[in-house]
Protein backbone atom coordinates (compact mmCIF):
# COMPACT_ATOMS: atom_id res chain seq x y z
CA UNK A 1 0.00 0.00 0.00
CA UNK A 2 1.39 3.38 -0.94
CA UNK A 3 0.92 6.61 0.96
CA UNK A 4 0.89 9.21 -1.79
CA UNK A 5 1.65 12.77 -0.83
CA UNK A 6 -0.75 14.45 -3.24
CA UNK A 7 -3.65 12.01 -3.16
CA UNK A 8 -5.55 9.92 -0.66
CA UNK A 9 -4.17 6.52 0.12
CA UNK A 10 -6.74 3.75 0.16
CA UNK A 11 -8.01 3.00 3.65
CA UNK A 12 -7.11 -0.59 4.58
CA UNK A 13 -9.84 -3.12 5.24
CA UNK A 14 -8.03 -4.84 8.10
CA UNK A 15 -6.39 -3.08 11.05
CA UNK A 16 -4.50 -4.17 14.14
CA UNK A 17 -6.49 -5.26 17.19
CA UNK A 18 -5.35 -2.16 19.09
CA UNK A 19 -6.34 0.24 16.33
CA UNK A 20 -9.69 -1.52 15.88
CA UNK A 21 -10.30 -1.17 19.63
CA UNK A 22 -9.77 2.59 19.37
CA UNK A 23 -12.22 2.70 16.46
CA UNK A 24 -14.80 0.69 18.42
CA UNK A 25 -14.56 3.30 21.21
CA UNK A 26 -14.96 6.12 18.66
CA UNK A 27 -18.17 4.52 17.37
CA UNK A 28 -19.67 5.26 20.80
CA UNK A 29 -19.38 9.02 20.18
CA UNK A 30 -22.66 10.92 20.23
CA UNK A 31 -21.97 12.93 17.05
CA UNK A 32 -19.39 13.92 14.43
CA UNK A 33 -17.90 16.78 16.41
CA UNK A 34 -17.38 14.64 19.50
CA UNK A 35 -15.78 11.93 17.38
CA UNK A 36 -13.48 14.46 15.68
CA UNK A 37 -12.43 15.92 19.05
CA UNK A 38 -11.67 12.41 20.38
CA UNK A 39 -9.61 11.49 17.31
CA UNK A 40 -7.69 14.76 17.54
CA UNK A 41 -6.93 14.12 21.23
CA UNK A 42 -5.82 10.54 20.51
CA UNK A 43 -3.56 11.60 17.66
CA UNK A 44 -1.99 14.61 19.40
CA UNK A 45 -1.28 12.56 22.53
CA UNK A 46 0.47 9.81 20.49
CA UNK A 47 2.30 11.84 17.84
CA UNK A 48 4.32 15.04 17.53
CA UNK A 49 5.78 17.10 14.76
CA UNK A 50 9.39 18.24 14.99
CA UNK A 51 10.90 20.58 12.45
CA UNK A 52 14.43 19.16 12.54
CA UNK A 53 13.29 15.55 12.61
CA UNK A 54 11.27 16.23 9.48
CA UNK A 55 14.60 16.56 7.69
CA UNK A 56 16.65 14.10 9.75
CA UNK A 57 14.06 11.37 9.23
CA UNK A 58 13.39 12.22 5.61
CA UNK A 59 13.24 8.60 4.47
CA UNK A 60 10.43 7.89 6.94
CA UNK A 61 8.14 9.68 4.50
CA UNK A 62 8.18 6.43 2.55
CA UNK A 63 6.76 4.39 5.44
CA UNK A 64 3.53 2.94 4.12
CA UNK A 65 2.68 0.26 6.68
CA UNK A 66 -0.31 1.33 8.80
CA UNK A 67 0.62 -0.93 11.72
CA UNK A 68 4.18 0.43 11.78
CA UNK A 69 2.91 4.01 11.67
CA UNK A 70 0.40 3.33 14.45
CA UNK A 71 2.99 1.66 16.70
CA UNK A 72 5.70 4.32 16.21
CA UNK A 73 4.53 6.87 18.76
CA UNK A 74 6.36 10.20 19.00
CA UNK A 75 7.60 11.90 15.85
CA UNK A 76 5.52 11.46 12.69
CA UNK A 77 5.51 13.19 9.32
CA UNK A 78 2.42 15.30 8.66
CA UNK A 79 1.06 13.21 5.77
CA UNK A 80 1.42 10.00 7.80
CA UNK A 81 -0.41 11.53 10.77
CA UNK A 82 -3.17 12.64 8.42
CA UNK A 83 -3.44 9.16 6.92
CA UNK A 84 -3.91 7.61 10.38
CA UNK A 85 -6.36 10.33 11.35
CA UNK A 86 -8.40 9.73 8.19
CA UNK A 87 -8.51 5.99 8.88
CA UNK A 88 -9.87 6.58 12.38
CA UNK A 89 -12.49 9.06 11.18
CA UNK A 90 -13.76 6.99 8.27
CA UNK A 91 -13.74 3.69 10.18
CA UNK A 92 -15.67 5.36 13.04
CA UNK A 93 -18.65 5.58 10.70
CA UNK A 94 -19.16 9.29 11.37
CA UNK A 95 -17.23 10.46 8.28
CA UNK A 96 -16.96 9.55 4.64
CA UNK A 97 -13.68 9.66 2.78
CA UNK A 98 -15.13 12.47 0.64
CA UNK A 99 -15.61 14.59 3.80
CA UNK A 100 -11.83 14.75 4.29
CA UNK A 101 -9.63 16.85 2.02
CA UNK A 102 -5.84 16.97 1.92
CA UNK A 103 -4.60 20.56 2.00
CA UNK A 104 -1.08 22.00 1.67
CA UNK A 105 0.67 25.09 2.91
CA UNK A 106 4.20 26.41 3.41
CA UNK A 107 5.55 26.70 6.92
CA UNK A 108 7.96 29.37 8.11
CA UNK A 109 10.98 27.19 7.61
CA UNK A 110 10.04 26.79 3.94
CA UNK A 111 8.72 23.26 3.99
CA UNK A 112 5.59 21.99 2.29
CA UNK A 113 3.14 20.96 4.98
CA UNK A 114 -0.04 18.90 4.76
CA UNK A 115 -3.10 19.29 6.99
CA UNK A 116 -6.71 18.14 6.66
CA UNK A 117 -9.89 20.07 5.98
CA UNK A 118 -12.87 18.10 7.30
CA UNK A 119 -16.45 18.82 6.30
CA UNK A 120 -19.10 18.19 8.92
CA UNK A 121 -22.71 17.29 8.09
CA UNK A 122 -23.68 20.75 9.36
CA UNK A 123 -21.72 22.21 6.44
CA UNK A 124 -19.02 23.58 8.74
CA UNK A 125 -15.38 22.93 7.76
CA UNK A 126 -12.75 22.17 10.40
CA UNK A 127 -9.00 22.29 9.76
CA UNK A 128 -6.95 19.67 11.60
CA UNK A 129 -3.17 19.75 11.96
CA UNK A 130 -1.90 16.96 14.23
CA UNK A 131 1.75 17.71 13.34
CA UNK A 132 1.37 21.40 14.21
CA UNK A 133 -0.19 20.78 17.63
CA UNK A 134 3.27 20.41 19.20
CA UNK A 135 3.96 23.99 18.05
CA UNK A 136 0.80 25.41 19.60
CA UNK A 137 -1.49 25.06 16.59
CA UNK A 138 -4.96 24.54 18.05
CA UNK A 139 -7.87 22.35 16.97
CA UNK A 140 -9.45 24.06 13.93
CA UNK A 141 -6.25 25.76 12.77
CA UNK A 142 -3.17 24.73 10.77
CA UNK A 143 0.52 25.60 10.48
CA UNK A 144 1.31 28.21 7.86
CA UNK A 145 3.88 30.88 7.35
CA UNK A 146 5.49 31.53 10.73
CA UNK A 147 2.28 30.49 12.51
**What's the pLDDT at 1?**
41
Cα–Cα distances (Å) from 54 to 60, 101, 121, in that order, read 9, 22, 34
Any idea what DSSP says for residue 122?
A: T
CB-based contact 53:71 (threshold 8 Å) = no
pLDDT tens digit sequence for 9-22: 778 899 999 999 99
Q: Where are the beta strands (DSSP E) in 5-92?
A: 47-48, 74-75
Q: How many residues does the chain have?
A: 147
**What's the pLDDT at 119?**
97
Sequence spans of domains, the chain: 17-135
Amino acid sequence: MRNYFLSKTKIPEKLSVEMQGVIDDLKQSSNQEECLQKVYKIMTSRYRGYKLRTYRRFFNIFTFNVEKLWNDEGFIHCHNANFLLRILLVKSGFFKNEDIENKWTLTGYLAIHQYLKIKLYSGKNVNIDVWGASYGIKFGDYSNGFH
